[in-house]
Amino acid sequence: MDLYEYQAKELFERHGIPVPPGGIATTPERARAIAAGLGTPVVVKAQVKTGGRGKAGGIGMAAGPAGAEEEAARVIGMDIKGHTARSVLVEAAMVPFEEHYAAFLVDRAEGTFLAMVSARGGMEIEELAATDPEALVRLPIDPVTGVDAATAKELAARAGLPEAASGVLERMWRVMVAEDALLVEINPLISTADQRIVALDGKVTLDDNAAFRHDWDHAESGDTLEDRARAKGLNYVKLDGRVGVIGNGAGLVMSTLDVVAGAGAAPANFLDIGGGASAQVMADGLEIILADPDVRSVLVNVFGGITACDAVATGIVTALELLGERGLARPIVVRLDGNNAEIGRRILSDARHPVVRQVPTMDGAAELAARLAAGA
């Protein structure tokens, strides 16, 4: 479960990590009141669970309460990469002397934890890793020994951070362990002119499997595709591409993502409808994918086993009937194979829906979906 920035900062404060003073607002009037209470210039930040807020115009400066109200009115309701900003974080503006990067995450490939720290923050970490990998210190963390004061000082020294930052690194690890997090990231972690260390931004992902150990009060707002998919019991992950992908079984979906990439396109999502999915589950999945404004074409790749292909085909027809004109916006490429595949293909053929195209092979279906996404 990804947290909003304000929720991440609430965790940081609970564990002693300094953050700018501020508050959350769902109305422009509330943003004005928070800014008045702070008595300083403020930053108004859209609260969405995606990156690129600044480039999208979701972060603005305000000199005082009136400006904060104006900025909040502009930002609340804004669409940022398919995420609607329903609230803003209003914080005291801070001028960094230096910007750094720090993160702890689960390294699944190595079966351990990983620390990533850099003296250069405030930019996309992927860009930094690609352009100047030596600037990013990576240190595996033993799950048993963790990060004590000595390890935190070593990390800060190796990355070129101020010695005072080591205390924040140690507390970040406490957040990681105490909150059962998969990721704890601060970018930027700033040094001020008076040598304070402050988390100017924050990203935290909690492990849903550990929810039974916690009394988490991080209710989902329902405004993201992930939220809506979770409410329907779907295994969905938003990606950055243009080809929506639906499959039954994680292995088949992962293979489909690879085949789409091999066809020269990028997948827009991971969506596994499961091995025993019903027609309703298929309809729900298609509805979620077609709600993504980034999707230009959809690839449904199903191998009938427990899930019979006729049920999948019925789900597609049902979803398109329910969606009406909304279902006409993007082409849907369908590949059915396995149990009741012939019946499923006949159901789709008989429906004669104008956006549905059937292709017998996975490679052929991926190539067609890629061409359609590109407008060919």
pLDDT tens-digit map of 119-156 = 988 767 777 777 888 889 999 999 899 999 999 999 99
Q: Which two tokens stand for residue 13?
A: 């404060």
Residue 170 annotated as catalytic: no
- What is the domain extent for residue 233? 225-373
Looking at residue 307, its pLDDT comes to 78
By three-state DSSP, how is residue 368 classified? helix
In a domain, 106, yes or no: yes
Q: Is the pLDDT of residue 202 over 70?
A: yes
Q: Which of 185, 226, 287, 367 is catalytic?
A: 185
Beta strand pairing call for 88-92 and 83-84: unpaired
Beta strand pairing call for 181-191 and 203-206: antiparallel
Domains identified in the chain, total number: 3
Looking at residue 218, its pLDDT comes to 53
Q: pTM of this prediction?
A: 0.67
In a domain, 4, yes or no: no
Task: Identify whether the C-beta of residue 11 lies closer than 8 Å to the C-beta of residue 214.
Answer: no
Residue 6 annotated as catalytic: no
Cα–Cα distance measured from residue 303 to residue 274, given in angstroms and rounded to the nearest whole number: 11
CATH code of 350's domain = 3.40.50.261
Query: Does residue 205 sit in the same domain as residue 255?
Result: no
Cα–Cα distance measured from residue 268 to residue 354, given in angstroms and rounded to the nearest whole number: 22
Question: What does the pLDDT look like over 6-37, one tens digit per residue?
Answer: 999 999 999 999 999 999 999 999 999 999 99
Query: Does residue 323 sit in the same domain as residue 287?
Result: yes
Torsion angle (degrees, nearest 10) of CA 308, 239, 368, 363: -60
Q: List strands edge to edge, sheet with 332-338.
A: 235-238, 269-272, 243-247, 297-304, 332-338, 356-358
What value does the mean pLDDT take over residues 255-273?
Answer: 95
Beta strand pairing call for 332-338 and 356-358: parallel
Of 62, 92, 122, the last residue of a domain is: 92
Cα–Cα distance measured from residue 217 to residue 204, given in angstroms and rounded to the nearest whole number: 14
Question: Which of the four pLDDT bands, split at 50, 70 and 90, describes residue 65?
Answer: very high
Question: Which of the four pLDDT bands, split at 50, 70 and 90, describes residue 258?
Answer: very high
What percent of the chain has pLDDT above 90? Answer: 67
In a domain, 135, yes or no: yes
Task: Identify whether the C-beta of residue 179 lies closer than 8 Å to the C-beta of residue 11.
Answer: yes
Question: Which of the four pLDDT bands, split at 50, 70 and 90, describes residue 4?
Answer: very high
Query: Does residue 259 sit in the same domain as residue 166?
Result: no
What value does the mean pLDDT take over residues 89-96?
Answer: 95
Of 68, 92, 116, the last residue of a domain is: 92
Q: Is the pLDDT of residue 96 over 60?
A: yes
In a domain, 16, yes or no: no
Classify residue 82 as exposed, middle or buried by CB count within 10 Å of its CB (0-12, 13-18, 19+): middle
Query: Does residue 234 sit in the same domain as residue 348?
Result: yes
Query: Does residue 359 sit in the same domain as residue 246?
Result: yes
52-61, 73-82, 314-323, 365-374 — most confident range: 365-374
In a domain, 163, yes or no: yes
What percent of the chain has pLDDT above 70? Answer: 97
Q: Which of 4, 6, 101, 236 is catalytic?
A: 101
